[in-house]
Structure 1
Amino acid sequence: MIISDIAIKKSATVIVLTILLIIFGVQSYRELPRESDPDVTIPYVFISTAYRGVSSSDIETAITIEIEKKLKGLDGVKKIQSVSAEGLSSISVEFTSGTDIDEALQDVKDKVDEALGDLPSDLDEEPAVFEVNLSELPIAVFSLSGTCGLPCLKEIADDLEDKIEAVPGVLETTVTGGLEREIRVEVYPEKLAYYGLSIGNFQAVVNAENQNNSGGNITLGNGRYQLHVPGEFTTPEEIYYLVLTTYNGQPVYLKDVARVIDGFKEETSRSRLDGESAVNLAVKKRTGENIIKINDTIEKIIEKSKSGWPAGTKITKVMDQSSEIKLMVEDLENNILSGLVLVLIVIFVTMGIRNAILVSAAIPISMLLSFTVLQIMGITLNKVVLFSLTLALGMLVDNAIVIIENIYRFMEQGAGRIEAAMKATGEVAYPVIGSTLTTLAAFSPMLFWPGVMGDFMSYLPLTLIVTLSSSLFVALVINPALASLFMR
């Protein structure tokens, strides 16, 4: 075969190519992002509208039907479904596969804006339009608990939130549960009226006093100093003696018209761990980032921060997507090593150690070439890809065994290394190519599987095609060249 003959004649070039493939393959494997699930676009847009205290039938006529009328003119819509319940209208819009979901989301928002004029004017808030993105689901959830109290745990969580969000690759960190301090001012309307104050005047005075001010710069001698006038309230006592106005020549203090309560903001979420109150942190990563690297960095941040926490405070990881990916990557590495050892043992018994090494070399070289191609294609190491690589591992040596065994047979018949490599490879090249193509043909229909599941599962045939094609390249180019130099 022409390709194999050229590779055998230019064996030194093939050796250099092999070394480069190994270097690039190792680098690609180290840099390939590890993810839990493939980045699959779900072609759905959801619209949720709250209207408390209204029956389901009224919700349907006043909100759901009005929005649906506008949505029917959208391009690429496959199906519209809606549920009208008491106090809530929920509409899901399914688009055809391949639709640009960002563009579709904006189109739906525009249509909902057009429908606002036909909706009740006393809605609690405007309809919420959103999509579901698997890549924005939390990759890890940490739960803070202890004896220092919820306000203390909330402060620790807020501090961790700032540090974690500074980690490269982290999209955002969400804190749920806990109590946040709030100083609330409750006004007595009758006293405001007595002193001739409006609620607007009262609010303006409080807002004006509750802020830090810059005093500019001042030069003293050879030094230049910046002046800062702190003014934000920190305790209720500071607010009580705030002067609002004068009445009959006497100052009117805030304590004369209102009371100040040092309490907590209204709870919007609660978290519990083992029956005790806790504060949770949910970490989300950006699309295409390495989940294992991010998780390891977060673990280091937490360990470093623990020394400043009150005694009895503990943090528990209640969800971790990286652990499963770590196990799958370790399984892949173990399978590669196991395959190498088993191939070495089996081929050694029949053809000797040199030939066993030539055959087994096809496994790591094919894998490293596959990693390089996967990185170029922008594919991450997710569950489906790792499963596909493990599945393909058992087929990587098939082509190499056929090629090397045939070269070995020619050499036993008295042919030289170069002659044997050329004749043997040419003799079985087309059967080897045909065997690989039939295997690829069995998986290729999965590339055309429609819908969300098709997008999800398309990574399996794609990875197998890349891996087995790499194996075929190694068998027809690298193995004959190495055999012509080292085979006995």
Structure 2
Amino acid sequence: MRLPQFGVRYPVTTVMIFVAIIVLSLFSLTRLGLDLMPEIEIPVIAVLTTYEGAGPEEVESKITKVLEDRLATVKNLDRIESSSEEGTSVITLKFDWGINLDEAANDVRDMVDFSTAFLPEDIDRPRILKFDLSMMPILILTATADESYPILYDLIDDRICDPLKTVPGVAAATIQGGLERQILVELNRSRLEAYHLSVDQVISALRKENLDIPGGHIKTGIKDYLIRTPEEVEVDEIGDIVVSTNEDGVAVYIKDIATVRDAFKEKTQEVEVNRKRGLIVIVQKQSGANTVQVTEGVYEKLEELKKTLPSDVKLLVARDLSDFIKGAIGNLRNALFVGGILV
């Protein structure tokens, strides 16, 4: 029996089949993830290492060359590229298409951990980054303040970024700009020479006084006590730290050779919003999450969080990726509607 004959002979069955198809299509549409770009796993991994105060040649010889020689042995590696700049080493590993990038990242991580013993002790731990289109920010917020600007970074970090990370689908909420608190110990060179001290001795003294060491457990009957040594130094205690003792038994303190200030990190970038000083909050979603749903969840959470901020702090949306997606879906819906009527 041909299809037209079946449709004419059994009209009710034909209608029920089309209704079922429409219902299943609408149900699938509600479950369909919405994103601007398809999920594409680019077979590229970057190893980023920061070495503050080092020049390009020093970064090249002590970090980049060491890591390159060992990372070159990772399997399925197609090409390796590197760049060494002041204080930063970037090694880009390009793999063959179709490989399991998670397994490749584990191999790279193991090799970096193995290479750590051959790197300078005072570098930051190398970071391993995978190139993923889902890492594109879905939302960029701006924050400005007048009287609260010196503490704006801490305010946004504690009251906005941390709570936003609990929204389903949000992977990260990071800050760019603003003033980040930093305790500065400014050494007096002439005083150091007078006391015959080196910078390394001062650093060693600070490290010894700023400890938080676990001490294991003590069992007494049915009770189990956790032992720890909380020796994290407070700002007003830094000046009283003993650096050394001279031949006469007189102690040399930090306050004798340095000035301690509760200040801010050196600014490397300036953020202005509508000609006002401010900062930027970048929100990223988890891989595979629905961009529109995640953005709506972030907006709902922001309405609650805004009530916890001082009155002079203003939050604005600078860029919303879901707007582009909603516009594209709207255009597609209109095209289908018009096409259905005309056809």
Paired residue for 1:102?
102
SS of residue matched to 1:338 = helix
Paired residue for 1:37?
37
What number of residue pairs does the alignment pair up? 302
Paired residue for 1:132?
131
| Amino acid aligned to 2:179 | L
* 1:160 paired to 2:160: yes
Question: Which range moves more in the overlay, 310-319 or 35-44?
Answer: 310-319
Alignment identity in percent? 27
**Mapped contact 1:50–1:123 kept (Cα < 8 A):** no
- Cα offsets for 1:331-368 (capped at 9, x unmatched): 1111122112323xxxxxxxxxxxxxxxxxxxxxxxxx
| Amino acid aligned to 1:150 | Y
**Change beyond 3 A, Cα 1:207–1:64:** closer
Structure 1 Cα separation of the partners of residues 123 and 206 of structure 2: 24
- Cα offsets for 1:205-264 (capped at 9, x unmatched): x989xxxxxxxxxxxxxxxxxxxxxxx99996xx79x9xxxxxxxxxxx9x999975545
**Change beyond 3 A, Cα 1:48–1:304:** closer
Where do residues 430-469 of structure 1 align in structure 2 (5 Å cutoff)? none
Structure 2 Cα separation of the partners of residues 235 and 86 of structure 1: 31
Where do residues 103-118 of structure 1 align in structure 2 (5 Å cutoff)? 103-117=103-117
SS of residue matched to 1:132 = strand
Structure 2 Cα separation of the partners of residues 183 and 126 of structure 1: 21
Where do residues 264-413 of structure 1 align in structure 2 (5 Å cutoff)? 264=264, 270-307=270-307, 309-343=309-343
| Amino acid aligned to 1:96 | D
SS of residue matched to 1:16 = helix
1:142, distance to aligned residue in structure 2 (A): 0.4
Any gaps of 5 or more consecutive residues in structure 1? 191-197, 209-231, 243-253, 344-488
1:41, distance to aligned residue in structure 2 (A): 0.5
**Change beyond 3 A, Cα 1:109–1:20:** same
**Change beyond 3 A, Cα 1:66–1:3:** farther
**Mapped contact 2:67–2:115 kept (Cα < 8 A):** yes
More strand as a share of residues: 2
**Mapped contact 2:138–2:291 kept (Cα < 8 A):** yes
1:144, distance to aligned residue in structure 2 (A): 0.7
**Change beyond 3 A, Cα 1:148–1:19:** farther
SS of residue matched to 1:293 = helix
**Change beyond 3 A, Cα 1:271–1:126:** same
What TM-score does the superposition give when structure 2 sets the normalisation length?
Answer: 0.69
1:110, distance to aligned residue in structure 2 (A): 2.3
**Mapped contact 2:62–2:120 kept (Cα < 8 A):** no
**Which has more radius of gyration?**
1
Structure 2 Cα separation of the partners of residues 77 and 13 of structure 1: 57
- Cα offsets for 1:143-164 (capped at 9, x unmatched): 0113233245335423122332
Structure 2 Cα separation of the partners of residues 60 and 182 of structure 1: 29
Where do residues 185-224 of structure 1 align in structure 2 (5 Å cutoff)? 203=209
Paired residue for 2:14?
14
**Mapped contact 2:182–2:263 kept (Cα < 8 A):** yes
Paired residue for 1:70?
70
Paired residue for 1:446?
none
Question: Which range moves more in the overlay, 37-46 or 296-305?
Answer: 296-305
**Change beyond 3 A, Cα 1:104–1:13:** same
**Mapped contact 1:167–1:297 kept (Cα < 8 A):** yes
| Amino acid aligned to 1:317 | V
**Mapped contact 1:176–1:270 kept (Cα < 8 A):** no
Structure 1 Cα separation of the partners of residues 37 and 339 of structure 2: 27
1:277, distance to aligned residue in structure 2 (A): 1.5
More helix as a share of residues: 1
1:40, distance to aligned residue in structure 2 (A): 0.7
Paired residue for 1:82?
82
Structure 1 Cα separation of the partners of residues 107 and 23 of structure 2: 47
SS of residue matched to 1:334 = helix
Structure 2 Cα separation of the partners of residues 64 and 329 of structure 1: 46
Structure 1 Cα separation of the partners of residues 337 and 176 of structure 2: 44
- Cα offsets for 1:104-149 (capped at 9, x unmatched): 11112223344445x4545623443322211022111100113233
1:30, distance to aligned residue in structure 2 (A): 2.3
Structure 2 Cα separation of the partners of residues 113 and 261 of structure 1: 36
1:267, distance to aligned residue in structure 2 (A): 5.6
Paired residue for 1:225?
none
Structure 2 Cα separation of the partners of residues 86 and 201 of structure 1: 26
- Cα offsets for 1:270-315 (capped at 9, x unmatched): 5322343102211111122222222223233334444554444322
**Mapped contact 1:157–1:279 kept (Cα < 8 A):** no
Structure 1 Cα separation of the partners of residues 105 and 283 of structure 2: 24
1:31, distance to aligned residue in structure 2 (A): 2.7
1:168, distance to aligned residue in structure 2 (A): 1.5
